[in-house]
Chain A
Amino acid sequence: MKIISCHIENFGKLSDFTMDFVSGKRNTICKENGWGKSTLAAFIKVMLYGFDNEGKRDDYENERKRFKPWQGGAYGGQLVFEADGKKYEASRIFGVKEKDDIFVLKDLESGLLSREYSERLGEDLFGLDSKSFSRSIFVSQDACETSVTDGISAKLGNLTDSTDDINNYEKSIIRLNDILNSMSPRRKTGEISKQKDHITELKQIISQGKNIEASLDNLIELSKNEKSCIEELKGERKVWSKRQQELSKYKDFEIKRKEYERISKDCLEKKEEYDRELMFFKNGIPDIKELNDKLEKAYVLSEKKSAIRIFELSGEEEEKLDSINLAIEDNRKSIERENKELLLLKENAQKENEKTEIINNASFEEKDNAKAPDKNYGRLVIINIIYLIIGIGCMLLVLNLKRVNSLPVAIMAIGLLVIIVELFINIYNYINTKDKKKNVKKSSNKMISYISNDEKDKEAFEVKIKEKESKIKELERFQEQNVYIRDNLTEKKKNYNSGIKEYNEIFDEVKSFIIKCGFEPNEDMYRQLDVLEEKTRDIDELRKAYEKISKEKELFEINNDIRLIENTNDMASDYSLSEIDSNLRQIDQSMEEHNKNLAGYTRQIDELEEKLEYINECENELDNLSELYENNKQKYKILETTKELLEEARAAFTAKYTAPIKTGFDKYYNMITRDEDNSYKLDANINLSKKELGLDRETRFLSMGYKDLIGVCMRMALVDAMYEKEKPFIIFDDSFVNLDREKLLAGLDLLDKIAKEYQIIYFTCHESRV
């Protein structure tokens, strides 16, 4: 691959700059400091690979910023090159960011846009990434040293097309190292180390488990003991409580026994007293009602005695009673006679009245008959109207019937006949009524003359009757006065007689009662009965009192076990109530103590349980963690082995190219130094070392001049090995600045020699190095 020319629109300080390059001889660009040699070299690299360090903030490190055109304008340019015998023009216009960049590739033969190479032009052309490019064919100022990159290795192994092999080795190793570091059992921060620490910690916690379990067993045992003590104490308490109950029962029974004794005694006393009092009545206790009745009657006797005396008739009163009785009889007879006479008078007067009335009635009747209308008159009018209606109706019916036959004619005839009959009846009635009225008027006038004669006889009778009635009334008034007197005296006498009789009856009754009660009646029976009544009441009271106490005793016997009560001595305790109380208190205190201990143990058990729970969780965590730890350890071991074997593989892989590279190195080294120094060694990883004073020393310890020299030789050896067919251009940016004169000349001579095979672009700032 060769660069034919380049044109810079604007890049760094270079603007509108064009340069052509030749092949077969060294292209030397010798310009003073500040001309822009490194900028031009960088332009070529950027045209192939784009900018490096785009992410850097530093304006120098960030190439896009570093080479931003000083004078402004379009940022970019063109590079004309030849590859595989064809010429292309690559144009790039750079924006602010990579995405703004424009890349155009033109096939110069056809003049058309080409897709032969992508915008990753350098990689496509050289099979190298930017880093490998800089380590091989781009020899920048002060950076001649080189080392084999993955890209170079891939190129060496023809694996540039494979992205996941040797070219990814370094990255893989870095990644593997990161993994190993993150897992490292030796680093504090390593996962395995941390897991190990945690396992130790968990084991430490778990190791306490046995002690905790032992403590727990101990506590459970203590707890059991406490429980059994409590149970024992409960048993004891039960015994003492029973004793207490029995003693209390005994005490209760004692009280009851005394109570029963009192009741029994009382009952007996009451019975004796009652029986004693009963002896008073030989014939039994009288009925209190009867007794009271008799007592009342006895009381009535004295009252009655004085009351009877009031009704007793004196001699004068006896005589008066006899005479009044006679007078009354006489008077009665007179009244009877007078009444008979009066009755006769009244009968005669009655006869006269009746006669007069008959005459009056006859005259009035005549008058009434004359005046009164005929009762049949109204009835006749109604009949007449009915006849008339029937007659007219029959005629109308006939007129309405259009057909003339025998039936309507008959009906019309009946109607006319009815009207005619009715007219005759009316005429007859009128004539008859007029004659009757004339006869009545005549007889009435005759009657009125008879009535005026009888009125005089009637007044005479009425005077006689009134006189008789007055006399009878006088006699009756007299009779009433006598009867009243007689009745009073008779009543008084009657009362007296009945009072005497009643008194005697009551007296006998009371007397008999007293005798019946077994006593001899004395003069004051009332007093005697009063005593009996009092006695009876006393006995009744005694009976009631006895009955009450008997009932009480009976109830007591029902409600209580008399056998037990009567034998309370059997229940007597050996301990007093205070002794029992004291024992119970002691037991309660002891139980409280044990309960307190039990609660404490239970709490401790709970706490230890929680700890055991935590330990159990730790055990589970330990199990999981141990498994994970072992897996990680195994993985770590395998990854370590993987790393070793990857390194070994890489060494084996690159070893195949070590010999040709070493040969190439020796060749170029000899060309510059003109010395066949065999002290340089190239290891499998293509690291160069120099044997000095018996030890292999890294080339970084050599002088700057030798480092540059070795670097150039190494790069050439690598380029030889990498590009066996089409040779690339090689850029040397003042690479011999640290060489001494002799080596400088040899170096320049080398450039001229290799310029026949490679296109060499050599930048220098001094004529002495041209």
Chain B
Amino acid sequence: MKIIHCADLHLDSKMTANLDSKKARERKIELLNTFNEMVKYAACNDIKAIIIAGDMFDKKTVSKTAANTVYQAFTDNPDISFYYLKGNHDEDTFIESLINKPDNLKTFEENWTCYRTGEKNNIVITGAVLTKDNKDRLFNELVLNNDDFNIVTLHGQESAAGTKDKTVVIPIRDLRNKGIDYLALGHIHSYKEAELDKRGVYCYSGCLEGRGFDECGEHGFVVIDIDEDNKTCKREFIPIAKRRLYVINVDVSGLNNSANMISRIKNVLDEKRLSKESMVKIVLSGEVDAFCEKDVDFIFKQFEDKYYFTKLYDETKLKVSYEDFRLDESLKGEFVRIVLAKTDISDEDKAMIIRYGINLLTDDEI
């Protein structure tokens, strides 16, 4: 039997963090489309169940379009069972809005709920909505039959680090030696699989689509192919995201004009061979001369339309060569010497002041 494990769909996400309203709307639609694509994949590949390990929606109120799309996917695929676990972003709004809960939609409560499935009826999908109230008792209450192939689904942070909102920590250690074969987790937005114990693994499937530049890399879902006789499984990560996000660091150290920097960026991007559908953040780094000609707007304009979305960050450090001005009998020399002599100004600010001052005198852009 084959089962899909996905999580963190965040349907109805605003997507406005980087994008303008038009593209944000497009991405919002793309999130729904990707969900549909995953369901279509399941239908075409003999997948019998889809586990949604939390955060199917992004906020408490669910748009009619999103609700209808998800509902339609459920009802159009009666042969696929959808195991939907609420995440910290999910509310009951969607489930409550359903006039008729489809038979193939299985949900979980704050206590462990088990669903037995498989041709040999020996695959058990167990899950519980983790809250601050039940976190202390829940893991002790988990009792599984070792003779079954046990999948447990939870939504939360695998360690105590970086938790906020309603996110609760999943103590991986407490789930060891419980007879779990596959721990299907949600909350972390990038794919991760690691050993749980001698018997099983735990896995974060990551989100279906990256939404910001903190969610770069491949995104998709995991297909668990279970051998019901041997009670073993093969796992495969299936990338499905419509777009991929990249942060491209371009070291422009030593370059002293925009043209050179454009050329360097172009070379780096060409090497990467990114799809036109990508979302790219270019970060200029390195140390450049304070008096170099560097027009960030101009540089950005050269790459603005190369990808679906592009942004450019200038994180270069300015370098001022004091020696060049030590004996320079000019206003510029005087200016640089005065700036460098200031002790109450940071080096970064000094570089900027010098760049501005020199550019003013040389009629360059500041």
- Are the C-beta atoms of B338 and A642 separated by less than 8 Å? no
Contact present for B363 and A168 (CB under 8 Å):
yes
Indicate if B281 sits at the interface (CB-CB under 8 A).
no
A616 at the interface (CB under 8 A from B): yes
Interface stretch, picked from B106-114, B142-150, B197-205, B325-333, is B325-333
Q: Which of B353, B356, B361 contacts A168 (CB 8 A)?
A: B361
Nearest B residue (CB) for A213 = B60
Q: Provided the pairs A168-B363, A224-B96 are in contact, do residues A653 and B345 lie with their beta carbons within 8 angstroms?
A: no
**Please, how many angstroms separate the alpha-carbon atoms of A620 and B353 in the complex?**
30
Answer whether A168 and B362 are a contact pair too, CB < 8 Å, given A638-B352, A641-B345, A645-B353: yes
Q: Is there a chain A Cβ closer than 8 Å to B236's Cβ?
A: no
Interface membership of B360, Cβ < 8 A: yes
Contact A176 B360 (CB under 8 A): yes
Docked Cα-Cα span, A296 to B248, in Å, equals 121
| Contacting pair A164 B338 (CB below 8 A) | no
Contact between A653 and B96, CB atoms less than 8 A apart: no
**Is A538's CB within 8 Å of the partner chain B?**
no
State the CA gap A164–B360 with chains docked (Å).
9
A640 (CB) vs chain B CBs: closest residue: B353
Known A-B contacts A157-B329, A620-B17, A638-B349; A645 and B96 likewise in contact (beta carbons under 8 Å): no
Residues from chain A with Cβ under 8 Å of B61 in the complex: 216, 220, 605, 609
A168–B330 CA distance with the chains assembled, in angstroms: 12
Specify which of A158, A165, A175, A613 is in contact with B332 (CB 8 Å cutoff). A165
Smallest Cβ distance from A250 to chain B, in angstroms? 31
Question: Is A166 a contact of B331 with CB atoms below 8 Å?
Answer: yes
Task: Choose among B14, B334, B363 the residue with the greatest number of A CB atoms under 10 Å from its CB.
Answer: B334
| Per-position 1/0 for B289-323, Cβ under 8 A of A | 00000000000000000000000000000000000
A616's partner among B16, B96, B330 (CB-CB below 8 A) is: B16
C-alpha gap A168/B357 in the complex (Å): 11
Which B residue's beta carbon lies closest to that of A220? Answer: B60
**A227 interface residue, CB < 8 Å from B?**
yes
Cα separation A639 to B355 with both chains bound (whole Å): 10
Contact of B16 among A153, A224, A617, A639 (CB under 8 A): A617
Are A639 and B356 closer than 8 Å at their CB atoms?
Answer: yes
Q: Contact flags (1/0) for A120-155 with B, using CB distance below 8 Å?
A: 000000000000000000000000000000000100
**Cα separation A713 to B231 with both chains bound (whole Å):** 106
Contact of B357 among A153, A620, A642 (CB under 8 A): A642
Docked-complex contact A165 and B330, CB < 8 angstroms: yes
Residues of B within 8 Å of A650, CB to CB, are 331, 334
Q: Give the total number of A-B pairs whose CB atoms are below 8 A apart.
A: 89
CB distance from A403 to the nearest CB of B (A): 108
B172 part of interface (Cβ distance < 8 Å): no
B335 at interface by CB-CB < 8 Å: yes
Contact with A along B59-82 (1 / 0, CB 8 A): 011000000000000000000000
| In the bound complex, CA of A179 to CA of B331 (Å) | 21
Chain A residues whose CB sits within 8 angstroms of the CB of B353 once the complex forms: 638, 641-642, 645
CA distance A244 to B330 in the complex (A): 104
Which of A159, A171, A613, A641: most chain B Cβ within 10 A? A641
> Is residue A169 within 8 Å, beta carbon to beta carbon, of the partner chain?
yes
Contact assessment for B360 and A172 in the assembled complex, using a CB-CB cutoff below 8 Å: yes
Is A652 in contact with chain B by the CB < 8 A criterion?
Answer: yes
B93 interface residue (CB < 8 Å to A): yes
B211 to chain A, nearest CB (A): 13
Q: Give the CA-CA distance A645 to B349 in the complex, in Å.
A: 13
A505 interface residue, CB < 8 Å from B?
no
Q: Judging by beta carbons under 8 Å apart, are B335 and A613 in contact?
A: no
**In the bound complex, do residue B96 and residue A638 qualify as a contact, i.e. CB atoms below 8 Å apart?**
no
Q: Is A162 an interface residue (CB 8 A)?
A: yes
A623 to chain B, nearest CB (A): 8
Residue of A nearest to B330 (CB): A165
Q: Interface code A298-322, partner B: CB below 8 Å = 1, 0 otherwise? A: 0000000000000000000000000
* B92 (CB) vs chain A CBs: closest residue: A224
A649 within 8 A of B: yes
CB distance from B351 to the nearest CB of A (A): 10
Which of A159, A168, A216, A645 counts the most B-chain CB atoms under 10 A from its CB?
A: A645
Say whether, besides A639-B356, A641-B353, A646 and B329 are in contact (CB < 8 Å).
no
Q: Residues of A contacting B269 with CB < 8 Å?
A: none
* B196 within 8 A of partner (CB): no
Please give me the residue from chain B that is nearest to A227 by CB atom: B96
B165-216 with Cβ < 8 A to chain A: none
Closest Cβ of chain B to A341, distance in Å, is 122
Report A168-195 residues with CB < 8 Å from chain B CB. 168-169, 171-173, 175-176, 179
Q: Is the CB of B21 within 8 A of A617?
A: yes
* Chain B residues whose CB sits within 8 angstroms of the CB of A646 once the complex forms: 331, 335, 357, 360-361
Residues from chain A with a CB closer than 8 A to the CB of B96 are: 224, 227
Given the complex, which residues of A lie within 8 Å of B329, measured CB to CB? Answer: 157-158
Q: Is B268 interfacial (CB 8 A cutoff)?
A: no
Residue of A159, A179, A220, A227 near B366 (CB, 8 A) is A179
**CB distance A645 to B60 under 8 Å?**
no
CB distance from B42 to the nearest CB of A (A): 31
Kindly provide the distance from the CB of B366 to the nearest chain A CB, expressed in whole angstroms.
Answer: 7
Contact partner, B338, options A158, A172, A216, A649, Cβ 8 Å: A649
Task: State whether A175 touches B360 (Cβ < 8 A).
Answer: yes
Distance of A613 Cα from B342 Cα, bound (Å): 48
- B339 adjacent to chain A (CB < 8 Å): yes
* Cα of A540 to Cα of B183 in the assembled complex, Å: 85
A620–B16 CB distance below 8 A? yes
Q: Is A648 in the interface zone, CB < 8 Å from B? A: yes
The complex places the Cα of A165 from the Cα of B331 at a distance, in Å, of 6
Chain B neighbourhood of A609, CB < 8 A: 61
Q: Which residues of A contact B17 (CB under 8 A)?
A: 620
Q: Determine if A649 and B356 form an interchain contact, defined as CB atoms under 8 angstroms apart.
A: no
User: Complex Cα distance A636/B345, Å?
Assistant: 15
- CB-CB < 8 A to A638: which residues of B? 349, 352-353, 356
A561: shortest Cβ distance to chain B, in Å? 32
Counting from the closest, the 10 A-B pairs by CB-CB distance are A649-B335, A172-B360, A166-B331, A164-B362, A649-B334, A642-B356, A653-B334, A165-B330, A642-B353, A620-B16
List, sorted by A's number, 21 A–B pairs whose CB atoms are closer than 8 Å.
A157-B330, A158-B329, A164-B362, A165-B361, A166-B330, A168-B360, A171-B363, A172-B363, A216-B60, A220-B61, A220-B93, A224-B96, A605-B61, A616-B14, A617-B16, A638-B352, A641-B345, A641-B353, A646-B357, A653-B330, A653-B331
Query: B-contacting residues of A (Cβ < 8 Å)?
Result: 153, 157-159, 162, 164-166, 168-169, 171-173, 175-176, 179, 216, 220, 224, 227, 605, 609, 613, 616-617, 620, 635, 638-639, 641-642, 645-646, 648-650, 652-653
7 more CB-based (< 8 A) A-B contacts, given A641-B349, A650-B334: A164-B362, A165-B331, A171-B363, A172-B361, A645-B342, A648-B338, A649-B338
